Structure 1
Amino acid sequence: MKRDQIDSHLRSARETLRTEAEALLHAAGRIDGRFAEAVERIDALRGKLIVTGIGKSGLVGAKIAATLASTGTPSFFLHPSEALHGDLGMIGPDDGVLAISYSGESEELANILPHIRRFGIPLLAMTAEKDSTLAGYAETVLDIYVEKEACPLGAAPTSSTTLTMALGDALAVALMNKRGFREEDFASFHPGGSLGKRLFVKVADLMRTEGLPAVSSKTSLQEAIVVLSEGKLGNVLVLEEGRLTAVMSDGDLRRALMKEDFDMKRPVIDYATRNPRAIDDEEMLAVEALRLIEEAKIQMLPILDAERRVRGVIHLHDLVSAGIRSGRKAGTKGTKA
């Protein structure tokens, strides 16, 4: 690609971002009590907030509805055309409607406004035209006017859709703040996401309890290596009278091979790590177990009962496969059993 082409593309990108950023800044300066009124009206709903719009406004509206729903405000998107053909029945007496149209005159949207009014429920609007049909029906109007679209023709919705989406985000954040929406609340709506897994998946959900590689402390190293290999966990549990006393890992075996007195016939306990890192709480969050594994630079964490009998193990690979990722420290503390 020629240098002048690269420069042209970069100028275009920078101008687009500046134009849309300026639209957001201008809107931030215009925001007033109507925004606070909208937040209060939505918060007071006993039912759902139905978001509706056509074309690009509809696409943005679907995103706003999804954001609200995931942050504690029951919400869904309703297409105006579908509403006219039966889906108005999805709107209940305890619901509210957020209608989006830059011009405020979208035909499909305008056609359902009288029917929404019949329900006697709150109607909020996002529009750039305060004298439009939509604004006339709405109880609260949020201004999405932009001086300039980023599109060089001034035709494609660009700055205006960015502002509309950002204003939807602002509503969601204001409602989160008002309701004291916490990290735990967000995770409960996203149990499959990384945050949900950090806050809800426990050791008990992932630990292995059957077919664990274990040997007696008197077992020869040679026999222990066979169990280590067959166990496919990179570790073997070393027990005395059924209680955990040591763990031999692949790393322990490599280090043993470097010793001058290395002897395959000697007891495995001579080469294993005594008093290994372990926990006694299978209700511990999996992310906390991962933190302990990473801190100790090990691969496997045994879970013991009060008498140091092994109830199960949790392996680094199981945590990673389950999508558990280390983040900030969880509140639960591990114990060395």
Structure 2
Amino acid sequence: MRLADFILRNTEPILEQWEAFAASLLPAARNMDSVTLRDDAQQILHAIAHDLTMPQTREEQHQKSLGRAPKVNGAPETAAQTHAVLRARSGFNINQLAAEYRALRASVLRLWIDNGVPAASDLEDMIRFNEAIDQALAESVSFFSAQVDQSHNLLLGMLGHDMRSPLQTIQMTASYLAALNAGDAVTDAAARLIRSGARMQTLLDDLCDFNRTKLGLGINIAPRDVDLAEVLADVVDQLRAANPGRQIDLEISGDLQGSWDGPRLQQLLSNLVLNAINYGAQDTPVRVVANGSDTEVCLEVRNAGPAIDEQMLERIFDPLQRGPSQTVINDARAGLGLGLYIASEVAKAHQGAISVRSDATETIFGVQLPRRT
């Protein structure tokens, strides 16, 4: 009997084995009934059986073996894709999802062989069946991963939102204690709370911005006419106060008037300067250089220190990237590895560009900003 016919005639026994195996995938399956254990299994089987009956070129066969079956524009989700989403929402992990397909492959082939030894002419059916299983698995894994990523991003968004209120309370209380003048011990403790609160706020802002980009929302900006010289001077003063042991120089030339989101550009510059402080040589100044031309303003943050290798340069603006641990001057302040990523997203939101170059003499981060966003 051809394999496609066997699957259609023996769907129920195959589903019984599917259900029995799915029920063993604990703890996710502990409270699932027969319907949810099977969910789209029947549709997956029927899709595989249908695929076995369709003509297929060698190229199509090769692409399918790689999990790249042709997609029909406007077609609904496949059963394998829907199955993946339901499994992700039910608490299955990706290893359990893949195990279901391994078990399905084994049970179908075992039942088919038990029904009668396949003839040599059935070898093509077996190859096609394995390719169809691999394609279904590829579709499931892709949708499962997307569902998990979306859940993680939503969790980060809710976490960031819910943490803002208690953090603001801590900061306000610390400021109140500092204003009491209740003695040096209380004042010093309040100052430590204020600094720690500001650091937590920075980390939280980076986390929330990262979450927005992962959800496809991008960095939100509100451009208005500003003098970038004033914006840069303000953030450099703040960074000098927060890092009294480091020299930060600001050099400005040309016209720095334009339409930008001032607070966002302060965030961009702060992230670049803090990166220079944490990874650059401690005994040399960090230089912030701004130059205005007819159509744009160029910012540079320069620091001496070890050269960044080419492999690191290629992914330095990727999220969750940090330099080698031995080059971090202040690891406690090195952050989540989001600072440079957020800086690049802020530049993109202003229709600008960010770049980096590094050698044994100096590392330079450059930002080009058009005057009108």
Query: TM-score, normalization: structure 1?
Result: 0.28
**Higher relative helix content:** 2
* Bigger Rg, which one: 1
